[in-house]
Chains A and B, each alone.
Chain A
Amino acid sequence: MSVTVRIPTQLRTLTGGTGEVEVEGATVREVLEALDARHPGLGERLFDEDGKLRRFVNVFLADEDVRFLDGLDTPVAPGQSLSVVPAVAGG
């Protein structure tokens, strides 16, 4: 079973307009790399030159910010959903 990744509007030009993509992966990093393999170009939008998440990219696993978990190394179970959300909101 695969992992569902929710894609924000800003990245849907790269996913052919779709807001949800199913990919395989055992960690957050693997899931996002699989996403980039499926939709080339997504990776450079999510990661900086050092391979870290960009400052304004938030990733949530089952509604929890992965920075409160193990970041990109957080294990992902099949059937879970991952959300990519721009950080610039709120207040």
Chain B
Amino acid sequence: MSFVTGLRCRECGRPYPAEALHVCDFCFGPLEVAYDYEQLAARLTRERIAAGPRTIWRYRDLLPVDDAAPVDLGAGFTPLVRADRLAAELGLGELWIKDDTANPTGSFKDRVVSVALTKARQLGFKVAACASTGNLANSVAAHAARAGMASVVLIPEDLEEAKVTMTAVYGGTVVAVSGSYDDVNRLCAELTSEHPSWAFVNVNVRTYYAEGSKTLAFEVAEQLGWRAPDHVVVPIASGSQLTKVAKGFTELAEVGLIEPAAPRISGAQAAGCAPVATAFLTGADAVAPVKPRTIAKSLSIGNPADGWYALEAIRRSGGSCAAVTDEEILEGISLLARTEGIFAETAGGVTIATLAKLAASGQVRSDEVVVALVTGHGLKTVEALSGSVGPAVTIAPSLSAFDAAVGELSGEGQP
């Protein structure tokens, strides 16, 4: 059964039915899914969740769509990895990495897309579409193929090659747009008005889509033994993920699955696209749009739709927000790979570098249980590392050449 009672405008509170709506007709504010938390508290138990599949769908009662056979490639229930070596490097105590590189198409977007397309199919949409910085494109194309839906995916023309290939392979229509992600996004917002029968997952189905990110909080809490961490570090693109992670912990407490808890939520951005971090650091009460210029293309949203709400969630939770340079992003990728064996894309580099920065300044503390969200796989953005990593040496295929070169390199004598 579904516990959804309807939709509600976050700005002015006007109620709407749970249909294909995403903004308030009156003030253009975003619509939020409303649930019957009393019913949920009465029905939902840890055991009921544990008996579910090892995917996001184990939390179906807290998701906005109920379907016995969701559009599913197995998103979610990704590893929560204890990161002692990274913690030692950063001077932290109990540190965990939520490794969302392990999702079916290599990023957290599988969570939101699985929810969005399940709802879209239920609402009768035949075409899955999106504006994407790459990860969403991969996921929409794959899940549409899985569901037997047509797909139309719009991306900025300068995207990483792997992300284009990983989208086009699924056979949908990929449209490269001359312009930035914000241009693509604006075009899709306009296309939504012209193609009302298409499900643009992050436009007209966004209300449902965004709810998928709550599962990050649900999983972290369950994997920690049904408790919230003290501090979560989340990358910010549109700001939706951070907002929903905060909502996820609040909901778990509200339905009685965890003790009331208010984890600090901190945001991570690239210095070349830091509208939320800038607003946080200057104390501004509005998020001014910027023109992005960073290697972290998956976070290159200069005009973040949920930037204001992300800022509010950070401030309310007592968290922080910082931005890191492209150089620091690459160092972050290497640090995570070297210490924990996890290869993250540039957005993951942003998270780790920001975590390092906040740890160094004492804003993430060693007495806190800390979780950092690593939301996309490194194979998607390998070109960011070209030139900075590679073979230590090239040798002739002989023992003497190996001994001569590697004997010295290993630094530890015989292996």
A interface list, Cβ under 8 A from B: 6, 8-10, 12-13, 19, 45, 54-58, 60, 63, 65, 67-68, 83, 85-91
Contacts and interface: CB of A to CB of B under 8 A. Distances in A.
Interface residues of B, number: 44
A84 to B, nearest CB: 9
B27 A65 contact: no
A19 B29 contact: no
Nearest to A14: B25
A57 B28 contact: yes
Given A89-B188, A90-B181, A56 B202 contact: no
Contact of A63 (B11, B29, B183): B183
Contacts of B308: 55
Contacts, number: 101
A60 B19 CA distance: 28
Nearest to A90: B185
Interface stretch (B45-53, B232-240, B393-401): B232-240
A91 to B, nearest CB: 2
Interface string B18-36: 0000111111111000000
Given A60-B186, A68-B289, A83-B190, A91 B11 contact: no
B61 to A, nearest CB: 25
A89 B28 contact: no
B305 A87 contact: yes
A39 to B, nearest CB: 15
A25 B183 CA distance: 25
Contacts of B388: none
B361 interface: no
A55 to B, nearest CB: 7
Given A90-B301, A91-B238, A85 B190 contact: yes
Q: Would you list the 10 A-B pairs with minimal beta carbon distance, nearest first?
A: A91-B238, A56-B28, A90-B185, A88-B30, A9-B193, A89-B203, A86-B23, A89-B189, A86-B28, A85-B189
